[in-house]
Amino acid sequence: MIETAIPEEPEEMDIPNTSSGEHPLRADIPLPLLGVFHPLGFSVEIATNSREVLEAAEETWRYPRKNHLERPVELRIAVSPGKSRECPPPPVYREQRKLFSVISDAENFIVSDLGQGFGFGWLTNATVRNRAFLRYHFLEVTALGLLASLYLTPLHGACVRLGGKGILLCGDSGAGKSTLAYACARSGWTLVSDDSSYLIRAGDGRTIVGNPHQVRFREPATQLFPELQGLSAVPRPTGKLAIEVATSSLPQIATSGESSIDYIVFLNRRTPDATTLAAVSKDSARRWFEQTLWLGDEEIRDAQAASLQTLLAAEVLELRYRDLDWAVKRLELLVQEGS
């Protein structure tokens, strides 16, 4: 026999005092400040009561971009003094169906509707003062999550372009995507993204957008590129160390916010075989890409997976190499001769 515990009578909800005329859930808090930003060329509207929130968004997405005409996503962010002067711990991410939450504590959270392109949240002054924490954990995660759910497919890859032909450089963390993308850019290629790219699901289905304004390196990169010597790795909000370089400080580097993709190249520096460029199964490439499709319900992930089929009309290859200069020249030959 299964015994069922009889639940205790629930306690009465702690409803805030409404004698002042305020909404009991603070739904009517004034958010008079409005900013419109264009991450990846798509529009994000932020309503808030804090200039610091808009200033942080401006730091993140300050570069002018082509504005795609899709409906903007909307964020409403209220900021309050809070009970603590300390920045909260890194948030926990949770999702059910199309609801996505980013929660640090009871006073610092954002909840988003991935299907509607809308999110709202409350943050404290201490959180907002920590610009890197605010930008990475709340603004970027939420805005890019909404845009990806509606319009984009996230890809773990760097992107470079030469002679009008784009190459998506793929591989697991540590494969050398940023290093090879930057080496290509130093040799006259156009840099589109150094590590993370996004596939636009509308249109031709093979257009990539990325952030070409910053490149992140691991510390050994200083031994490869003289201009990086003297720069130190700093902790990112994730806790990982990285050397972060703004491409605006490197005038010899050409950049672009988007590119069509003609070749998908997986990087392999671990196999001791002779250097080569070989064909890769498109089924194995598709399975690799699908590993990153974790945000959103089945409907969203199905739409993203379908877009990968169009992307994989490009030629898929594996580049086995040891020498960076050889790898750049081999990719140049691929673009010039198609083999």
pLDDT at 150 over 90: yes
Q: Which of 333, 311, 312, 313 is nearest to 321 (CA)?
A: 333
Average pLDDT over residues 134-160: 96
3-state DSSP assignment of residue 261: coil
| Percent of the chain at pLDDT exceeding 70 | 91
| pLDDT, tens only, 12-26 | 555 555 556 677 777
pLDDT at position 299: 95
**What are the CA-CA distances from residue 339 to residues 21, 28, 169, 335 (Å)?**
71, 61, 16, 8
Of the listed ranges 5-9, 98-102, 227-231, 326-330, the least confidently predicted one is 5-9
Is residue 304 a contact partner of residue 153, using CB atoms and an 8 Å limit? yes
CA atoms of 157 and 214, how far apart (whole Å): 15
**pLDDT category of residue 5 using cuts at 50, 70 and 90:** low
pLDDT at position 1: 47
pLDDT at position 59: 93
Region of 126 on the Ramachandran plot (φ > 0 left; ψ -120 to 50 alpha; else beta):
alpha
According to DSSP, the residues that pair with 235 across neighbouring strands are: 241
- C-alpha gyration radius of the chain: 23
| pLDDT, tens only, 153-177 | 999 999 999 999 999 999 988 888 9
Average pLDDT over residues 21-33: 82
pLDDT at position 117: 97
**What are the CA-CA distances from residue 138 to residues 111, 113, 149 (Å)?**
10, 15, 16
3-state DSSP assignment of residue 250: coil
**pLDDT category of residue 10 using cuts at 50, 70 and 90:** low
**pLDDT category of residue 205 using cuts at 50, 70 and 90:** confident
| pLDDT, tens only, 183-197 | 999 999 999 999 889
Is residue 68 a contact partner of residue 42, using CB atoms and an 8 Å limit? yes
CA atoms of 27 and 198, how far apart (whole Å): 34
Question: Side chain identity at 51, as an amino acid letter?
Answer: R
First to last CA, the chain: 71
Tokens of 198: 């996004």
| pLDDT, tens only, 83-136 | 998 999 999 999 999 999 999 999 999 999 999 999 999 999 999 999 999 999
Tokens of 330: 């081999």
CA atoms of 298 and 73, how far apart (whole Å): 21
pLDDT at position 312: 95
What mean pLDDT value characterizes the chain? 89
Report the predicted TM-score, pTM, of the whole model to 2 decimal places: 0.89
pLDDT at position 141: 95
pLDDT at position 45: 97
CA atoms of 184 and 179, how far apart (whole Å): 9
pLDDT at position 197: 95
3-state DSSP assignment of residue 325: helix
Number of CB atoms found within 10 A of residue 144's CB: 20
